[in-house]
Amino acid sequence: MTFVPRRQSDVAPRSAVSNGQRAGTAIKGAPAGFFLNPAAILVLMLSLFPFLFSLGMTFTNWNLLYPGVDFRALENWRRLFDDETLGRAVRNTVFFTTAATILEYVLGLMLAILVLQIKRGQRFFRLIFLLPMMISPAAVGYVIGRMLFSETQGPINNILFRLGLPYVPWTSNPGVAPWTIVVADVWQWTSFMFVLLLAGLQSLPGEPFEAARVDGASNWQIFTQITFPLLVPVTVTAVLIRSLELFKLIDLVRVITAGGPGTATQTVTLYVYDLALTRGDMGYGATVAYALLIIVILYATFYLWLTRRAVEKVA
Amino acid sequence: MKIRKLRHVPAAILLIVSLLLTAPGSGAFVGAQDDSASRFEGVQVTVAGPAGQVECIETWANQWEEETGGQVNINPIPFSDIDSKVLAATGTDTFLADVYYIGSQTAGQLMAGDHVIEVPEELRDRLGLDQIPDIYNKYQLSWNDKLYGIPWDGDMLMLNYRQDLLSDPVYQEEFKAQYGYDLAPPESWQQYADIAAFFTGKDWDNDGAPNYGLAELPMRRNHAWNGFLARAAGYAKHPDDPAFFFDPETMTPRINNPGFVKALEDWKTALQWGPPDMLSFDWAGNAQAFVGGRAALNIQWADIGPMSIDPETSVVAGKVGFGVTPGSTEVWNTASGEWETFDEPNKAPFAGFGGWIYVVPKLSEQPEAAMDLATFLGSPGVRVEAVTTPGCGVNPNSTELLDPSIWVDAGFSEEAAQEYTKAIQDSLANPNVVFDLRIPGIPDYKDALEIGVTKALVGEATAQEALDEVAAEWEAITDRLGRDQQVQYYRESLGIAAE
Amino acid sequence: MSKLLRRNLAYVPLIIWAIVILFPLYWMVITSFKLPIDINRGVSYIPWVDFVPSLHAWQDLLQGAVPIADPLRNSFLAATISSIAAVGLGGMAGYGLSRFQYRWGPWRNKDIAFWFISQRMLPPAAAILAFMIMFKYLHLLDSVAGLAIAYTGFNLPFAIWIMRDFFLALPRELEESSLVEGASWLTTFWRIVLPLSVPGLAATGILLFIFSWNEYLFASLLAFEKAKTMPVTIAGMATAIGIRWWLMSALAIVSMVPTVLLGLLLERYIVRGLTAGAIK
């Protein structure tokens, strides 16, 4: 049976994404600058020099160990295109970002919805689900990533073995290793999605849901036609923030697989770190970083443009 | 809500105050109690080194403090960050420490870039340099005949094996029946592979889990470089040729010559006799596999010796034998461009990693005191204690430290002590020994090789393809850094006169 | 399916995920009670049954064999100062972006917001050298103050975005009526908006605190000795001669305590705070 939700545009939480234009009217005497400027100045001061300096580095061959810096124009930039490791790194990074964001979102959403449905123990689950995010990434990487998943010394394969399940080469197989990283990241960061989506769900007004039930809609219809659309603004922000961080994935990879085996789990940021701080090749390292920046800016712009439509449809 | 917030205010104030009281600077009130007028009264020297190892020097640092009135400040840095911190400090002219406790590869780069201070003549006597083998004197501590490094640790990859298993009569019979020769510590890589194959799958500790023939180091960024080259040296280091990695005249990489390729192929075959997750074995994973009793053979540094008798970590105390790394009967001769067959396996011990040493950077704020402290630590008296303390990670680097009686005192049996010291001595004295690469660009060369090698090991490329890629990458690196300069550095590092 | 069954069915996935979370944490806890030889021997799960627990790691921590007071203090100061500052300045900026029309040359509010969030897009490894140089000249290297400033800068974009979302959902009627009655913007902000936004500020604050508390790269390179923080100390347990799992686990657990306590304290705000529904 077709079901059309009643419109609740006034009540839905609006998101900053669609509201860029509608923000307030210019009121006389409003100390607008007072609110924005301190933050803007601080960020500007901390970001301007590094941005320009690092950009400048991309045009040189500066190496931390060897004396003399020479101007090298676009040589570093040209090197980007021949770099096989970089190509693999970009592919891996895109894979990690996509897989982890989607899994974390879906899991976080599911958990948030379920938590709101149960009567007892809500607080308990809410607290437990927050914990992983609070652990230092170094600890998550070593204790959970390496020790737990250690193929011959760790409990996971041991448990699988006891259950009669096959041995999984978590870190020594180039096809499996990327998924191990994804699993570790999902374990830690689903909390983030959970928190934001739980808040979003709790802020939803009750009326559309009651009305839908009165109209006899099924759970699935309620979800797809009311819940999810109303959650779009929160979804957009949460996914954006998490995906931006995932593009810079380095901590887990560095500790668990060091980018290997071979280059199976190499990420761009790990590559930048290696180039700049292990090899001292700041010039090329900065170039790779800026290449990533360009990719991410394109992604974010496109993402925001795409989702703007979706968010406006909700309002 | 306002009232609720106010209640937390006193607690907050208390918290902040107590934090401030523990702030740095309050420690200044509890200063050095030593009043003896001494050279470096009141001077503070900072030593930065790998966390987990540098703390070891505290005992000796205290001795120095009493003698000189100075103060030693130990700054442990996570092992994986040391290189980047040293690099970042060097590149930005920032002070990190007065003394660096670093690996000789990193040190080599600092030496080549003229970032460290030469050890003054008057302090050299302290170091017992005459007891230090040439290979360390020339390659580890000096650059271009100038002494920059203070000796501390000497690295050499060696063969560790389960003495008890190899001399077990039952196994010996079985082995002879299967392979046709006597079971003994392997001299060649072929024998090594046979023994490993033989022992894999047997359960000698009767714990229900199968054991393995060998444990090695094939992980990227965790010594795949050392693991591979320890083997390849036997195949590709010809006794008549001083060069190993590159052609000393053109810097053409040799890494994809048939010697290395065969070594990689053989290595891949041999590695199947190890634990399935060996590809993610870090140093400790490898060590644990052996001292935890799960592997019969092991290629590793000399740390295994002291580790094997440490009851806290080892179940194989008294059961370990030591030897020089196996060699190869088939050796590639670059000069003639052909394979040569040797009667005795060509052994080429590989001093991988080179060892930890001390250097005093030019950025030091207290160079005199720093040099004094460093040379104090590098003296034989201190080194002999360091080398027998488990958990310090210091391997013997001089002849007096290879006196078996020291090791018997430390807990080795007579035989084990003899075997251990002989193995290291033989390795160091072997004329065909290969010292690790120390020229600028080593991180790049290293990473390229490790990527290539691990790709071949997981089957993403054949050995030849993988090493060809590595060679191409090495050429690119050399060109980027300046080929003429690299040739010069390589020759300097080998001690060959420039042409 | 009966409603009762459906209600309780929800517990199943929740309990499964709770186990997924708790098992590694349990593992971390028992590891902190294991001896090195236990780790070498293989996998053991239950204390007193599979292995004999030992307090050696915890003793090391409490007796100062592993320095823990300084890193804890440094982490705490840097994280607290930076999250308060970021929430304060970020909250104000978020409010401004939600109420006023700014114009920076061709840029409008949404562009300004994009500029803020773009600060999070560059891999930090590229910028770290520049920061080192900057801090060297400002004498901020190896200092808690320097870290706090850097973290404030990093956290501001998040604070601004989240608070802007929050303020946009806040109906303007209250402020408008206050202004109509003659109050100035500042008074309105202080008296009306701020109290209502405490939940949102608290929630953002704790997220930022967690981010700063767990930050690694800048802490490792900008604060290498006196201002060393917990994450770096934890990573220091991975030594060249073996990972000291027992100490690392113990340290990680200790490191979790402040964030968990803070979370417990502000937990109800986290959930309620990020929504506008609270106002109604």
Q: Where are the domains of chain B?
A: 43-155+354-417, 158-348+439-494
Q: Which of residues 263-282 of A touch C (CB under 8 A)?
A: 268-269, 272-273, 276-277, 282
Neighbours of B156 (CB within 10 A): 30
Kindly state whether residues C146 and C56 are assigned to the same domain.
no
- Name the pLDDT band for B2 (thresholds 50, 70, 90): very low
Q: Distance, in angstroms, between A46 CA and closest chain B CA?
A: 18
Q: What is the CA radius of gyration of chain B?
A: 25
Kindly state whether residues C40 and C83 are assigned to the same domain.
no
- Residue A178: the pLDDT is 92
Kindly state whether residues C215 and C266 are assigned to the same domain.
yes
Neighbours of A164 (CB within 10 A): 6
B165 has a pLDDT exceeding 50 = yes
Question: What does the block give as tokens for B29?
Answer: 């009130």
B219 forms beta bridges with B222, B223
* Average confidence score pLDDT of chain B: 84
CA distance readout (Å), A174 to A171, B274, B376, B450: 7, 18, 48, 15
B333 forms beta bridges with B338
Residue C142 sits in a domain whose CATH number is 1.10.3720.10
Tens of pLDDT, residues A266-282 = 999 999 988 888 888 88
- Structural domains in chain A, CATH included, are 78-314 (1.10.3720.10)
Tell me whether A261 touches chain B (CB under 8 Å).
Answer: yes
Q: For domain B43-155+354-417, is the CATH number 3.40.190.10?
A: yes
Interface of chain B against chain A, CB under 8 Å? 80, 83-84, 87-88, 90-91, 109-110, 112-115, 219-222, 275-280, 285, 288, 440-441, 443-444, 447, 450-451, 454-455, 457-458, 460, 480-481
Average pLDDT over residues B396-412: 85
Q: Which of residues 164-183 of A touch B (CB under 8 A)?
A: 167, 169-174
- Residue A11: the pLDDT is 36
B49 forms beta bridges with B76
- Name the pLDDT band for B8 (thresholds 50, 70, 90): low
Least confident of A185-199, A227-241, B249-263, B464-478: A227-241
C152 has a pLDDT exceeding 90 = yes
- Name the pLDDT band for C47 (thresholds 50, 70, 90): confident
Tens of pLDDT, residues B450-461 = 989 988 988 888
B contacts of A153 (beta carbons < 8 Å)? 285, 288
SS3 C52: coil
Whether the domain at B43-155+354-417 and the domain at B158-348+439-494 fall into the same CATH topology = yes
Number of domains in chain C: 2
Answer for the pair B104, B357: CB distance below 8 angstroms, yes or no.
yes
**Domain closes at, from C62, C94, C109:** C62
> Angle, nearest 10°, between helix axes A32-57 and C144-168?
130
> DSSP of B13-31, one letter per residue?
HHHHHHHHHTSTTGGGGS-
Tens of pLDDT, residues C77-108 = 999 999 999 999 998 898 888 888 888 888 88
- Name the pLDDT band for B16 (thresholds 50, 70, 90): low
Residue contact A260–B219, C-beta within 8 A: yes
B235 has a pLDDT exceeding 80 = yes
Expressed in angstroms, the distance from the first to the final Cα of chain A is 25
B1 has a pLDDT exceeding 50 = no
Interchain CB contacts (distance < 8 Å): A and B: 104
Question: Distance (Å, rounded) from C-alpha B387 to C-alpha B404?
Answer: 13
Answer for the pair B328, B187: CB distance below 8 angstroms, yes or no.
no
Question: Distance (Å, rounded) from C-alpha C263 to C-alpha C249?
Answer: 21
Kindly state whether residues C130 and C32 are assigned to the same domain.
no
Tell me whether A150 touches chain B (CB under 8 Å).
Answer: yes
Tell me whether B396 touches chain C (CB under 8 Å).
Answer: no
A60 forms beta bridges with A71
Kindly state whether residues C205 and C80 are assigned to the same domain.
yes
Q: What is the CA radius of gyration of chain C?
A: 23
**Domain closes at, from C47, C62, C77:** C62
A71 has a pLDDT exceeding 50 = yes
> For tokens 């706090």, what's the residue?
C148
Tens of pLDDT, residues B340-357 = 998 889 999 998 887 899
Question: Distance (Å, rounded) from C-alpha A266 to C-alpha A85?
Answer: 8
- Residue B392: the pLDDT is 81
Average pLDDT over residues A105-119: 88
**Nearby residues of B227 by Cβ (< 8 Å), 6 or more positions away:** B216, B217, B218, B299
> DSSP of B384-430, one letter per residue?
HHHHHSTTS-----SGGGG-HHHHHHHT--HHHHHHHHHHHHHHHH-
Kindly state whether residues C88 and C46 are assigned to the same domain.
no
Mutation target among B77, B79, B114, B277 for the A interface, most CBs of A within 10 A: B277
- Residue B9: the pLDDT is 53
The phi and psi torsions of B343 (rounded to 5 degrees) equal -70, -50
Interchain CB contacts (distance < 8 Å): A and C: 314
- Name the pLDDT band for A74 (thresholds 50, 70, 90): confident
B contacts of C36 (beta carbons < 8 Å)? 312-313
Mutation target among A60, A279, A281, A282 for the B interface, most CBs of B within 10 A: A279
Q: Which of residues 109-138 of A touch C (CB under 8 A)?
A: 110-111, 114-115, 117-119, 121, 123, 125-138
Provide, rounded to the nearest whole percent, the portion of chain B with pLDDT above 70: 92
Kindly state whether residues C32 and C52 are assigned to the same domain.
yes
C20 has a pLDDT exceeding 90 = yes
- Residue B471: the pLDDT is 94
- Name the pLDDT band for A6 (thresholds 50, 70, 90): very low
Residue contact B458–A171, C-beta within 8 A: no
Answer for the pair A92, A178: CB distance below 8 angstroms, yes or no.
yes
Kindly state whether residues C158 and C261 are assigned to the same domain.
yes
Of residues C36, C70, C238, nearest to B78 (C-beta) = C238
Residue contact C77–B79, C-beta within 8 A: no
Nearest to B289 by CA among B215, B217, B207: B215
Answer for the pair B427, B396: CB distance below 8 angstroms, yes or no.
no
A110 has a pLDDT exceeding 70 = yes
Tens of pLDDT, residues B245-265 = 999 888 899 999 999 999 999
- Residue A314: the pLDDT is 60
Question: What does the block give as tokens for A226?
Answer: 């009311």
> For tokens 């359960």, what's the residue?
B203
Nearest to B319 by CA among B202, B162, B158: B162
A contacts of B279 (beta carbons < 8 Å)? 171-172, 260-261
Question: What does the block give as tokens for A89?
Answer: 């790194």
Cα nearest neighbour of A172 on chain B: B279
Least confident of A4-13, B272-281, B363-372: A4-13
Kindly state whether residues C35 and C153 are assigned to the same domain.
no
**Nearby residues of A244 by Cβ (< 8 Å), 6 or more positions away:** A296, A300, C117, C120, C121
Tell me whether A197 touches chain C (CB under 8 Å).
Answer: no
Tens of pLDDT, residues C228-249 = 899 888 888 888 777 888 888 8
- Give every strand in the sheet of B44-50, ordered side by side: B71-77, B44-50, B99-103, B356-359
Question: Distance (Å, rounded) from C-alpha B415 to C-alpha B407?
Answer: 10
Tens of pLDDT, residues C180-205 = 887 777 777 778 887 777 777 777 88
- Residue B134: the pLDDT is 79
Domain enclosing residue C49, as ranges: 3-62
Average pLDDT over residues B361-383: 92
Q: With 0.95 as the threshold, say if the pTM is over it.
A: no
- Residue A35: the pLDDT is 86
**C11 membership: H or E segment, kind and range:** helix C11-31
For chain A, what's the residue count?
Answer: 315
Kindly state whether residues C232 and C163 are assigned to the same domain.
yes
Of residues B87, B222, B458, nearest to A174 (C-beta) = B458
Mutation target among B3, B83, B92 for the C interface, most CBs of C within 10 A: B92
Of residues B75, B81, B283, nearest to C220 (C-beta) = B81
Question: What does the block give as tokens for B253?
Answer: 């990489």
Report the alpha-carbon angle A46-A51-A57, nearest 5: 135
- Residue C48: the pLDDT is 78
Residue contact B276–A152, C-beta within 8 A: yes
Question: Distance (Å, rounded) from C-alpha C280 to C-alpha B90?
Answer: 58
Please state the separation of Cα C191 from the chain's center in Å: 28
Query: What is the third-level CATH fold of B158-348+439-494?
Result: D-Maltodextrin-Binding Protein; domain 2 (3.40.190)
Kindly state whether residues C119 and C249 are assigned to the same domain.
yes
Residue contact C241–B315, C-beta within 8 A: no
- Residue A3: the pLDDT is 43
How many CA atoms lie within 13 Å of C116's alpha carbon, on the beta-carbon side? Answer: 31
Kindly state whether residues C127 and C246 are assigned to the same domain.
yes
